[in-house]
Structure 1
Amino acid sequence: MSMPNAMALGAHRGSIELKQFFRERASVVFTFTFPALLLLLLGSIFDGDVSRGGVTGGQVLTASFAAAGIVSTSFVNLGSALAVERDDGTLKRLRALPMPPVSFFLGKIVLVVVAGLAELALLLAIGAVMFDLPLLHDPVSWFTMAWLFVLGVTACSLLGIAASSLARSARSAGAITMVPYTVLLFISGVYIPHQALPGWMADLGAVFPIKWLAQGFRAALLPDHMAELEPAGRWELDRVAIVLALWCAGGLVLCLTTFRWRSSLTR
């Protein structure tokens, strides 16, 4: 099958994925409201000045939660959904169809991109309305947001696909993705500033992409003087791009070596 046909099938599959996703109201509500609700609660609690420039805690949390929202709609949502689809035989049936695997994954990409953009817009709207976060006004910040979104969605989606193979059944799918997601929010400087974390915990968080994704969004959304509060005292956007790109490559390797169309419990 030619690549144009595979792309067309992928776009069609993406429309199906979107329809199925938005029909599952409970899943939609949880995916979108969990980061948004946490931002509202924590932002309201810590919405005090944190720098000489008058930047508030709510504004800092909004920038950090932009990363949390992307991870939620890619790693958590995709990893859980694939584990469920593998367990109930959906992946096995789809694999039997005359549709190339690339089209199936393109459909998933469409879903993740649309959901990720919607989540990001929701979080930024909360930050602007509730915490007076200034909206982006310069091309450099928009460009930074764009490449952060692309690298973040790619890395976390690939890791979500790989993580889905760890779940032995649909019942364990949520724990496989939610537990590491929640832990990483604590040790990656999203909930708690890096300065308040034990050294070993901050070092562990720096291994994973969410720390760098959150740091990148802070660079795009906050004034330059806020970089002094980062562990290195600067935004390190070059290092952010390198780490996220490495996780994209590593996630791809994990997907190619671990992804299964059938449940391991299938006989």
Structure 2
Amino acid sequence: MLAMFRLLLGYLKKSFHSIFFGFVFPIIMLTILVAVLGGDNAANTVLPGLVMSASPVLGIVTLAMTYSDFKQSIIIKRIGATPLRPWEFISSILIFHVILIFIGSFWTLGIGAALYHNQINWGAINWGYVLLSILLSSVMCSAVGVMVGILAPDFKVANAFSLLLYLPTSFLSGQYIPYQGISKQPALVIIAKIIPFSYPVSIMNRGWNNYSSSSDLANSALFNNYWVPILVSIVWIGALVFGAIMAYKYRRK
């Protein structure tokens, strides 16, 4: 596992798109959205979604392209020739990217807090649910990313398909567009409930406003409780991780 970590870290250092979209782009989006929305609580509205942006960027897009790039070299062939079992190989990739996503998430949170500290209602945040939402989203998106990387025939297809998944995931889950905007369109609400990433985002948005007034809390998230998005997220994660392991075993043959 440590060898895989060193391999992935070495690739990350050479990957400009991962660094930019995982650590720089969310800060750019934060300043733009706060300026566009205006008001005294603009940062408090958009920051939780942007904290979650590390998951689809680093999990879906970066991981899919990383794995696909590995397939073009002899790295995957050498790994396939080792006695490393499929679940161990997939687990090491997922754990590395979960750690990376946590770093990216708290980077965005830290910069947001430094820039807009006075706009954030710190007393309303339930940090337990915030951490849980990041954990669920990081595992979910990383499982999607590794599956795309395994199944895509080449780097270009992996890039195109991961971006195709990333764009609706980001905008229609409540990540970039606050839930207040999505809730005004019933069709968008239905689509959001189909997207797996919407469930951890709902946990984040609700956890971010956990101790707010009842009216503010009701308008902050896709679901008006925690147990539904938590349960659905766990089911999705189980299915996606199992699918990634099966895809690796199939491609390995």
TM-score of Structure 1 vs Structure 2, range by shorter chain: 0.7 to 0.9
2:114 to 129, 134, 140: 129
Which residue matches 2:191? 204
1:81 pairs with 2:66:
yes
Which residue matches 2:219? 229
- Deviation of the 1:260 alpha carbon: 6.1
- State the distance in 2 between where 1:157 and 1:141 align: 25
Q: Which consecutive segments of 4 or more residues in structure 1 shift more than 6 A?
A: none
Q: Which segments of 5 or more consecutive residues in structure 2 lack a partner in the other structure?
A: none
The 5 A counterparts of 1:228-247 are 228-230=218-220, 234=224, 236-247=225-236
Aligned-partner residue type, residue 206 of structure 1? K
1:170 to 155, 172, 181: 155
State TM-score, norm by structure 2.
0.84
8 A Cα contact 1:159 1:251, kept in partner: yes
Of the structure 1 ranges 147-156 and 252-261, higher mean CA displacement relative to structure 2 is found in 252-261
State TM-score, norm by structure 1.
0.80
- Deviation of the 1:253 alpha carbon: 3.2
The 5 A counterparts of 1:38-57 are 38-49=29-40, 56-57=41-42
- State the distance in 1 between where 2:165 and 2:63 align: 14
8 A Cα contact 2:140 2:240, kept in partner: yes
Q: Secondary structure at the match of 1:120?
A: helix
Aligned CA distance change for structure 1 residues 258 and 112 (closer, same or farther; 3 Å) = same
- For residues 2-50 of structure 1, the C-alpha deviation after alignment (integer angstroms, 9 at most, x for no partner) is xxxxxxxx1332233223312434532333222332222212221324x
- State the distance in 1 between where 2:220 and 2:141 align: 23
- Deviation of the 1:241 alpha carbon: 0.5
The 5 A counterparts of 1:90-239 are 90-132=75-117, 134=120, 141-197=126-182, 198-222=185-209, 223-225=211-213, 226-230=216-220, 234=224, 236-239=225-228
8 A Cα contact 1:14 1:109, kept in partner: no
- Deviation of the 1:120 alpha carbon: 0.9
Of the structure 1 ranges 62-71 and 221-230, higher mean CA displacement relative to structure 2 is found in 221-230
Aligned CA distance change for structure 1 residues 250 and 233 (closer, same or farther; 3 Å) = closer
Aligned CA distance change for structure 1 residues 66 and 80 (closer, same or farther; 3 Å) = same
What's the % identity of the aligned pairs? 18
- Deviation of the 1:116 alpha carbon: 0.8
- For residues 52-75 of structure 1, the C-alpha deviation after alignment (integer angstroms, 9 at most, x for no partner) is xxxx12211111112222222212
